[in-house]
Structure 1
Amino acid sequence: MVGGALSADWAPAFEAVPRSAFLPDLIWPWSMAAGKSVAISRADDPEAWQAYADADCPIVTQWDDGGHSGTEPGRVSTSSASMPSVVFRMLRDLDLRRGHRVLEIGTGTGWNAALLAHRVGPENVVTVEVDEAVSTAAREALERFGLGGGVVHGDGTAGYEQGAPYDRITVTCGLRSIPYTWVRQCRPGGVIVSPWGTHYSNGDAVARLEVARDGTSAAGRFTGPVEFMKLRSQRLPPVIHREYVPGSVADGEETSTSLTEEEFVGEPFSAHRFALGLRVPHCLQVVAEKRDGARPVWLYGLADRSWACVQFRDGEVARVWQHGGRRLWDEAETAYRWWDETGRPGHDRFGLTVTRDGQRAWLDDPANDWPL
């Protein structure tokens, strides 16, 4: 079920609280064969439903903040049951011990909270969910296991002061900024584990932060790439292309680049895309589909209307157009060269520090940091 990642000490929890016990009758698992989310009803196809419940794949359980109806997938997935292998890796990063006090941000189906409760005791787990319907369904599922008392309907960015201090804080949604409130509510030496990334792409990574002895900051490295639904209050509003480029790319300043499509685009969850997000702040990258040997890649400034477009075409030098107060392509190319010259670091060489004043990223050592 967990892709060979499950360790012996966590096996009893995964056996005692199966993911299937926390899923609704209608689910939208990711189908590798179809390359998309597909609707599966337990009433109509119980065998397929159970197979997906047991599979190492993500399963959408809510679309469009609950405003969706019908069986076809909605526009935006807004609650889910994560891949079991990802769930385990994040639980492993927490380094839980019996009796640890744990705060979970993002209850979702309740399955992760049940795994936590099995490990540390139900009286030691508080889980906060912003969506009332999701929170109610999770509480009911947890109560069937005798674990429903710790579910709180509320805004997870505020944490849950009544239960603080916590030994561990774990987050089940993607963050762009880690609230300092969580640092304050986690004891010195405690651990915060959260998916984190930038608006540059959806390719996040798991940050494992340890709270400093004086309790004023938290810092640590990233442990590996992931993709999670974003915290609702930190979602990026839609970027409207015509508001940036009302005419054509010819309105921008044209140059060229020796970087190739393979070098710059890479894979969706590659370390260099993550690195570019760290080095090119307040920027969104959009990689278009490749057609007739050509692929445009757009960069949109999120603090102004600066934009850049690089057109990769098979067998030709890539053309670049830029416009606005920022030269976004120049920034992106400089960031790529920096990543290449520093040894093409993977996710685990990067780290994050959170203080009252904000967030700083770093490479190899917290002293080698820069603001985000």
Structure 2
Amino acid sequence: MTTHQPGLEQSAVDGLLQTVSQYLGHDVAPEWRGAAEAAPRHRFLPDRVWLSGDDEVLAACDRECEPERWFAAAYSDVPVVTQVNDGQEPADLSEALPSSSASVPSIVFRMLELLDLAPGMRVLEIGAGTGYNAALLSHRLGDVNVTTIEIDPAVAELARDALKATGYSPTVVCGDGALGWGAQAPYDRVVATCAVRRVPYAWVEQSRPGGVILTPWCDDWTHCGLLRLTVNDDGTATGRYSADSAFMLMRTQRLGLRLFRDVVMDDHVPAESTTALDPWTVADSPIETQFALGHRLGDLWYAWDHDPGVEGVDTRLWVATADGGSWAAVDWDGNDSADHYTVWQHGPRRLWAEVEAAHRWWLDNGRPGPDRLGLTVTPEGQWAWLDDPSNSWSSG
């Protein structure tokens, strides 16, 4: 099979758009259908990609060796990993971690809809990736109105080449997306294709009043969400979340902590207590629950240890701060009728008490989901809120 046959391309694009329409609940708008047809997704994929198998371990897929599989991946409604380990592919692919990808097409088109674009608008894209999203934007708005920024030089070059080969020439910048790109500001829209745990204020500064910032969200507790902010006249931006997207975290905001290298030390002497709060209630619960807890907890993250090698402990939940300065561990002894759990805590903060308080807050406020939660970004920091910006607390 060859992947450049016009009929095959058109059929593949039509099939993908049908899948996207089913996800959206309506037909893809004509302007975006035209963009997808003019910029077929496979033309933006490198010859070597990485696909997940049944065991969720990434495996390389080379276009030359597996053309059918490669082409099928290009037109499936799934993410396609285009780089691992920041370009340093490990000898053992079990250690391969995605560092750049082609996003899930249904999420791509949903985000394009949420941007609510109009002719003449200027857009800054954070994370060029393959260049596919920039091509869709350029088709709709014109090259002159689209700027895309990519932190990885190799990825930026591949995006630039793919765009040129497909007939598009938006401004492609190699740089730190957290800084935006002031040379083309102000923008009517800023859209990120990577997740952030803090919204860079540069994005607000470089947007027009009334402009929209759309970014995937990733707090330390959960790793999904989509945040849509509107820029206000006073230099702030505020908006709400939805929960159905997951993207790689912006490279300059990666946490980089390892539990037993950076957080839990042999000389720590933790305080012991007990809790009636089931650890699975807060860390293995529906995503809407975890999203609300992460929104409230701010800088806490967790990790499960299902074989801690500790006598009398079947499963342990670890909780730690983003700076690694405090930690807690909650133990389950394997007894299905357990109504109390042993808690160990170390550091200046009592993290499990914070988790318990967040869970009580969630219950007391009617178990809010993402649609009731929002964020306000100011020059001084960002403020999380419930229902209304006036009901807020500091979020970094």
Query: Alpha-carbon deviations, 1:140-165, whole Å to 9, x = none?
Result: 00001221341111121221111111
Query: Alpha-carbon deviations, 1:247-300, whole Å to 9, x = none?
Result: 499x42222222224422234x71222222222232221123479993211011
Partners of 1:285 and 1:8 in 2: how far apart?
Answer: 39
AA partner of residue 18 (structure 1): P
Specify whether residues 175 and 213 from structure 1 end up closer, same or farther in structure 2 by C-alpha distance, changes over 3 A only.
same
The farther-off stretch of 92-101 and 355-364 is 92-101
**Identity in percent:** 44
Partners of 2:174 and 2:77 in 1: how far apart?
Answer: 28
Query: Alpha-carbon deviations, 1:277-336, whole Å to 9, x = none?
Result: 222232221123479993211011234532111123332132222122111001011101
Q: How does 1:128-143 map to 2 (within 5 A)?
A: 128-143=149-164
Query: Alpha-carbon deviations, 1:59-81, whole Å to 9, x = none?
Result: 11111211226683654321111
The farther-off stretch of 237-246 and 227-236 is 237-246
**Aligned position for 1:13:** 35
Alignment partner of 1:92 is 2:110? no
Provide structure 2 residue ranges, at least 5 long, that are not aligned to the other structure.
1-15
Question: Cα RMSD over matched residues?
Answer: 2.2
Q: CA deviation at 1:342?
A: 1.1
Contact between 2:375 and 2:385, CA under 8 Å: does it hold in 1?
yes
Q: Which runs of 4+ in 1 moved over 6 A?
A: 290-293
Partners of 1:325 and 1:258 in 2: how far apart?
Answer: 22
Provide structure 1 residue ranges, at least 5 long, that are not aligned to the other structure.
none
Alignment partner of 1:211 is 2:231? yes
Alignment partner of 1:348 is 2:366? no
Alignment partner of 1:232 is 2:255? no
**Aligned position for 1:36:** 57
Partners of 2:149 and 2:358 in 1: how far apart?
Answer: 37
Contact between 1:104 and 1:113, CA under 8 Å: does it hold in 2?
yes
AA partner of residue 224 (structure 1): A
Q: CA deviation at 1:91?
A: 1.4
Q: How does 1:330-345 map to 2 (within 5 A)?
A: 330-345=353-368
The farther-off stretch of 11-20 and 125-134 is 11-20
TM-score, length basis structure 2: 0.86
User: What is the aligned counterpart of 2:186 among 143, 158, 165?
Assistant: 165
Contact between 1:129 and 1:155, CA under 8 Å: does it hold in 2?
yes
**Aligned position for 1:361:** 384
Specify whether residues 74 and 115 from structure 1 end up closer, same or farther in structure 2 by C-alpha distance, changes over 3 A only.
farther
Q: How does 1:7-86 map to 2 (within 5 A)?
A: 7-9=27-29, 10-31=32-53, 33-68=54-89, 72=93, 74-86=95-107
Q: CA deviation at 1:187?
A: 0.5
Q: CA deviation at 1:86?
A: 1.5
TM-score, length basis structure 1: 0.92
Contact between 1:63 and 1:74, CA under 8 Å: does it hold in 2?
no
**Aligned position for 2:143:** 122
